[in-house]
Chains A and B, each alone.
Chain A
Amino acid sequence: MAFLDVLMLGFSEAFTPTNLFFCFVGALLGTLIGVLPGIGPTATVAILLPVTFFLPPLGALIMLAGIFYGAQYGGSTTAILVNLPGEASAVVTAIDGYQMARKGRAGAALAIAALGSFFAGTVATIGLAVAGPTLSSFALSFGPAEYVSLCIFGLLAATILAHGSVIKAIGMVCLGLVLGMVGIDVNSGSTRLTFGSTELYDGIDFVVIAVGLFGVAEIASNLEFKEARGVLQSTIGRLWPTKQEFKESWGAVLRGTGVGTILGVLPGGGATLSAFSAYSVEKKISKTPEKFGHGAIAGVAGPEAANNAGAQSSFIPLLTLGIPSNSIMAMMLGAMTIHGITPGPSVIQNQPELFWGLVASMWIGNAMLLVINLPLIGVWVRLLKVPYRLLYPAILLFCCIGVYSVNNRGFDVALVILFGVLGYVLRKAKCEAGPLLLGFVLGPLLETNLRRALLLSQGDPLVFVERPISAVLLLITAGMLLTLILPAIRKGRKEAFEASED
């Protein structure tokens, strides 16, 4: 069978001692840096990118991929243990994961996250191997109109996802949209909301907002408690999940894997949208939605599986079309170009050992992560058991370094402090930062695609319902809106949240 042949080729490439070594070093380094709060996969890959320039092409790619999913997983660890998501995709993990940690079930949350990620990684890797070329043509049929509908869907999902008042959630989404507008307008080239500062011409960096709103604000609100809260006030607890926890999470892992694999393929989609979507799916179909936000294990399992599946499948457009779907993929593209490899369908044909070697190494890397993370959780935790008064200046420092390293600009660090204050105020006002972040991420995508779609249709708004994929997405959105508005259901939602607030 041809498929088995190429897979064999891939494994024989990836199983050489040197490549195994690169894979291991990458996953370990990625986890190590990813565990440091405030430094997400983007910053980690950026920092370690130069290291790989001296390696042979396949070794470099394998190591970078290892760094990427190591950091991705390390980010989830900090999200669960100290409520500091390293990247947007781990924001939803923090919601329930941190609550589990506060209840002494951190071990189970970490184990489920690791097992769910491994399972999702395995499925997505097989997906990449089997359906890569086919799926990429599906991704191509996503034009501006489809993106508009997808963004509207995502934003509405964000308000449903929010904990508490819908009005506040919508307000947060709008604030996110406004923040996303800062910078040079792509269509006219004029500057918006920059107040004459060239530093703002390119808008506000995602990392700045995430670290400020989540990292700094978390530290600030922790300081209200006199050392009593510490970083991690309880033990990790038993690592292996209980039977009940397994029962509650396996379905979520399956659904998260599905959601992530599909959404990860879309250029611009990736891990974040996957995680958010998976969370709202879980909350929607759960028999006990009131548990969400208070340590529901399905709320960890679903998004964790989804973000890992999304992270893996975002390699599909890069490897089959040469199109990076996010900033990390852009860096992978740069690394490939440095080594004289041109990503695109020709890679699969002309350099099959490279493509299949990378695919096989992804699976090996995911297995290694399991090995690195589960037995070593103790080590990572010890890193977090340092007293808070010692740890928080260090975390702040790492946040600053991480933010500075993205653009090498002191201005970004100043902005982080500003967003830290904003995040603290929002917490006090019981406004969630999650919808704001999603509004910020999806806003520019929504705006540019809306304008592109209307330019292409020469002003005819019917384009959104004439194109089938877009029409289906809008239909689903309308359905969601209806459930939100219908009095009976709205009451049910309110009760659910009130019950959960107790």
Chain B
Amino acid sequence: MTHCKIKFAFAAAVFAASASYAHAEWPNDRPIQMIVAFAPGGSTDVMARAIEPFLEKELGADIVIENRPGASGEIAYTALSKAKPDGYTFSYINTPGYLSMQVQRKLGYDPKTIKPIVRIVDDPTAIVVPAASEIKTLKDFVDAAKAKPGAVSYGSSGVGTDDHLAIILLGAATGTTFTHIPFSGAGETRTAILGSQVSGGGLNISEFAGNDTSGLRMIAHFGTDRSPQLPDVPTAKEQGFDVEMTSERGIAAPRELSDEITQKFGEAMKKVLDNPEFQKQAKQLALPLAYLSGPDWEKQMPDRLARFQKIWNETPWVK
């Protein structure tokens, strides 16, 4: 090959590369950014990183996880609502935070500008007590609080979290008062329960079963049905208390995202969730997988939002 030819070949290669760059179809133009609204190492982050390689394979694209923690997710959701709807920015969203936030304060973004794409898990809230505790059932827990108002303390992972809302609902349903002690995260709540600093506390099924459970006992969870992770734990409903509370996690995109990309992305996620390899990993992380398509998930939201609004009107959790 002559010198000139090499030059030409090189130029052609560069041109071809730049041309293919400019015309690359979604999702191969550049890496897809997945925003996680919580710090690295948290349960949402761990889940996102477990999904990443599977989703990359399904989409045939690169994915970059970006942690934008802060303000219970508001910072991440605001970033999502302002992102270009080109299919290169998605964010994980969590309920009830995503919904209850709308009730409790004016937000930096309009929830209407965000479109849920897929629900991944539905994780029931549960009440956990120290293993040595005399409290064995939810009825014991409520009776103890009735017998001595204020003496039963309940640790949660923060104000306005699903743990907190669950105990407000339980209190309203039974006419009892529990002393609510907010901690800053599930890890701290666990420590407090283990050390018997509180009578009991709220943890989600995955937060409970995904860790070492010795020294702890779950007396009830607030899911609709028994959980496959912990089939021996009765629901609150079974024990005669009509309270339901779960924490959902899924993926959302800017509202204007085209139907085509929305559908492709949703289908890829469905395939990931159906993949036995992924399911094995999800089992290790004790993730209660509960696929729901974006439209189906969004349909449920107004109902949930109304429930939170009702709790807020009766007992606002932020003064």
A interface list, Cβ under 8 A from B: 46, 49, 53, 140-144, 184, 186-190, 198-199, 201-202, 267, 321-324, 330-331, 333-335, 337-338, 340, 342-347, 407-409, 448, 452, 455-456, 458
User: B39 to chain A: which residues have CB within 8 Å?
Assistant: 330
B181 touches A456 (CB 8 A): yes
A190 touches B318 (CB 8 A): yes
Q: Which of A141, A343, A407 has the most CB of B within 10 A?
A: A407
Chain A proximity mask over B140-162: 1 for CB below 8 Å, otherwise 0: 00000000001101000011100
User: A448 to chain B: which residues have CB within 8 Å?
Assistant: 184
User: B187 to chain A: which residues have CB within 8 Å?
Assistant: 322-324, 330, 333
* Given A140-B195, A189-B317, A337-B46, CB of A407 within 8 Å of CB of B70: yes
* Given A140-B191, A334-B41, A456-B153, CB of A190 within 8 Å of CB of B71: no
User: A143 to chain B: which residues have CB within 8 Å?
Assistant: 192, 195, 197
Among A142, A409, A458, which residue has its beta carbon within 8 angstroms of that of B195? A142
Of all chain B residues, the one with the shortest Cβ separation from A340 is: B284
CA gap between A333 and B158 in the complex, in Å: 20
CA gap between A186 and B104 in the complex, in Å: 15
User: B212 to chain A: which residues have CB within 8 Å?
Assistant: 321-322, 342-347
14 A-B contact pairs sorted by A residue (CB < 8 Å): A186-B183, A198-B70, A198-B78, A201-B70, A201-B74, A334-B41, A344-B214, A407-B70, A408-B66, A409-B68, A448-B184, A455-B180, A456-B179, A458-B151
User: A201 to chain B: which residues have CB within 8 Å?
Assistant: 70-72, 74-75
Closest Cβ of chain A to B20, distance in Å, is 28
User: A198 to chain B: which residues have CB within 8 Å?
Assistant: 70-71, 74-75, 78, 108
B67 within 8 A of A: yes
User: B150 to chain A: which residues have CB within 8 Å?
Assistant: 458
Closest Cβ of chain A to B187, distance in Å, is 6
Nearest first, the 5 closest Cβ-Cβ pairs linking A and B are: A344-B212, A334-B41, A189-B159, A201-B71, A189-B318
A346 touches B214 (CB 8 A): yes
B285 within 8 A of A: yes
B85 within 8 A of A: no
Chain A proximity mask over B279-293: 1 for CB below 8 Å, otherwise 0: 001001100000000
A189 touches B69 (CB 8 A): no
User: A49 to chain B: which residues have CB within 8 Å?
Assistant: 40
B198 within 8 A of A: yes
Closest Cβ of chain A to B89, distance in Å, is 14
Closest Cβ of chain A to B197, distance in Å, is 4
* Given A140-B194, A322-B212, CB of A334 within 8 Å of CB of B40: yes
CA gap between A456 and B182 in the complex, in Å: 11
User: B40 to chain A: which residues have CB within 8 Å?
Assistant: 46, 49, 331, 334
User: A46 to chain B: which residues have CB within 8 Å?
Assistant: 40
Number of B positions contacting A (CB below 8 A):
50
Of all chain A residues, the one with the shortest Cβ separation from B286 is: A342
User: A409 to chain B: which residues have CB within 8 Å?
Assistant: 68
B interface list, Cβ under 8 A from A: 39-42, 45-46, 49-50, 66-72, 74-75, 78, 104, 108, 150-151, 153, 158-160, 179-184, 187, 190-192, 194-195, 197-198, 210-212, 214, 281, 284-285, 317-319
Closest Cβ of chain B to A329, distance in Å, is 9
* Given A202-B69, A342-B211, A407-B70, CB of A455 within 8 Å of CB of B179: yes
Among B71, B181, B191, which residue has its beta carbon within 8 angstroms of that of A267? B191
CA gap between A199 and B70 in the complex, in Å: 8
Closest Cβ of chain B to A240, distance in Å, is 41
User: A330 to chain B: which residues have CB within 8 Å?
Assistant: 39, 41, 187
CA gap between A448 and B46 in the complex, in Å: 27
CA gap between A279 and B208 in the complex, in Å: 40
B158 touches A331 (CB 8 A): no
B66 touches A189 (CB 8 A): no
B184 touches A456 (CB 8 A): no
Closest Cβ of chain B to A378, distance in Å, is 35
User: B50 to chain A: which residues have CB within 8 Å?
Assistant: 338
* Given A455-B153, A458-B150, CB of A323 within 8 Å of CB of B190: yes
Instruction: List 13 other contacts, CB 8 Å, given A322-B211, A342-B211, A456-B179.
Output: A143-B192, A189-B104, A189-B160, A321-B194, A321-B212, A322-B190, A334-B45, A337-B41, A340-B281, A340-B285, A342-B210, A448-B184, A452-B183
User: A199 to chain B: which residues have CB within 8 Å?
Assistant: 70, 75
Q: Which of B108, B183, B191, B318 has the most CB of A within 10 A?
A: B191
CA gap between A53 and B42 in the complex, in Å: 16
* Given A455-B181, A456-B179, CB of A186 within 8 Å of CB of B197: no
* Given A198-B74, A323-B191, CB of A458 within 8 Å of CB of B179: yes
A188 touches B41 (CB 8 A): no
User: B49 to chain A: which residues have CB within 8 Å?
Assistant: 53, 338
User: A347 to chain B: which residues have CB within 8 Å?
Assistant: 212
B66 touches A187 (CB 8 A): no
User: B108 to chain A: which residues have CB within 8 Å?
Assistant: 198
CA gap between A408 and B50 in the complex, in Å: 22
Closest Cβ of chain A to B172, distance in Å, is 18
User: A322 to chain B: which residues have CB within 8 Å?
Assistant: 187, 190, 211-212
Closest Cβ of chain A to B67, distance in Å, is 7
B194 touches A190 (CB 8 A): no
User: A333 to chain B: which residues have CB within 8 Å?
Assistant: 41, 187
CA gap between A248 and B45 in the complex, in Å: 48
CA gap between A144 and B191 in the complex, in Å: 11
User: B183 to chain A: which residues have CB within 8 Å?
Assistant: 186, 452
Closest Cβ of chain A to B182, distance in Å, is 5
CA gap between A241 and B181 in the complex, in Å: 52
User: B195 to chain A: which residues have CB within 8 Å?
Assistant: 140-143
CA gap between A331 and B69 in the complex, in Å: 14
CA gap between A252 and B151 in the complex, in Å: 46
Q: Which of B41, B78, B179, B318 has the most CB of A within 10 A?
A: B41
CA gap between A199 and B76 in the complex, in Å: 11
A344 touches B211 (CB 8 A): yes
CA gap between A184 and B40 in the complex, in Å: 20
Closest Cβ of chain B to A343, distance in Å, is 7
A345 touches B191 (CB 8 A): no
CA gap between A267 and B181 in the complex, in Å: 18
Of all chain A residues, the one with the shortest Cβ separation from B74 is: A198
B181 touches A184 (CB 8 A): no
Closest Cβ of chain A to B218, distance in Å, is 16
User: A342 to chain B: which residues have CB within 8 Å?
Assistant: 210-212
User: B70 to chain A: which residues have CB within 8 Å?
Assistant: 198-199, 201-202, 407
Of all chain A residues, the one with the shortest Cβ separation from B104 is: A189
* Given A187-B182, A190-B319, A334-B45, CB of A321 within 8 Å of CB of B191: yes
Closest Cβ of chain B to A71, distance in Å, is 16
Of all chain B residues, the one with the shortest Cβ separation from A317 is: B191
User: B46 to chain A: which residues have CB within 8 Å?
Assistant: 334, 337-338
User: B210 to chain A: which residues have CB within 8 Å?
Assistant: 337, 342
User: B66 to chain A: which residues have CB within 8 Å?
Assistant: 408
Of all chain B residues, the one with the shortest Cβ separation from A456 is: B153
Among A321, A334, A452, which residue has its beta carbon within 8 angstroms of that of B42? A334
A456 touches B75 (CB 8 A): no
